[in-house]
Structure 1
Amino acid sequence: MAPVDLAVLEGATKAPEPLPVFVVLDYENGETREVMGFAYGWTRAHVLVEVPWPMEYYEGRKEVWVEASRVRRRKIDRDWRW
């Protein structure tokens, strides 16, 4: 996850609704994984995503700004049934 200059975020575009994406994340233990998440906004260089985040006893959610090159769109199959 990249440190983001707050001045750059002033011109960020906000998504009208969350967009499904895949995000490549680097974790503190050195592991890199691609996870499913949702994009909530973006600039030319960064995307605000909500992703699953492992906690000690459960998996939470976290909003982070990541470099745009680490994000790609995904499609949710609306016809899929349990």
Structure 2
Amino acid sequence: MREGSGMDFRNGVGADEIAGVDWFKSSASEGVGNCVEVAGLPDGGVAMRNSRDASGPALIFTAAEIRAFLAGAKEGEFDGLCG
């Protein structure tokens, strides 16, 4: 559980239960409902959801976790995942 600004965030919380955030996706998205959307959280963390299920479960990450993931993505460490 993560606490911040009076809100408790848990992995798997319904994304529609995370109030007061703006969800957005990459401009590289194909725009046909197969997108990962992200939202900044009041405590500096990030929530992620599947755009096909906007009220479905959200994954919650700390700022440090997101920084580490983005650094790896920029270095190409995950390129093999998409064929």
Report the TM-score when normalising by structure 1.
0.31
| Greater strand content | 1
Higher relative contact order (CA 8 A, sep 6+): 1
| Greater helix content | 2
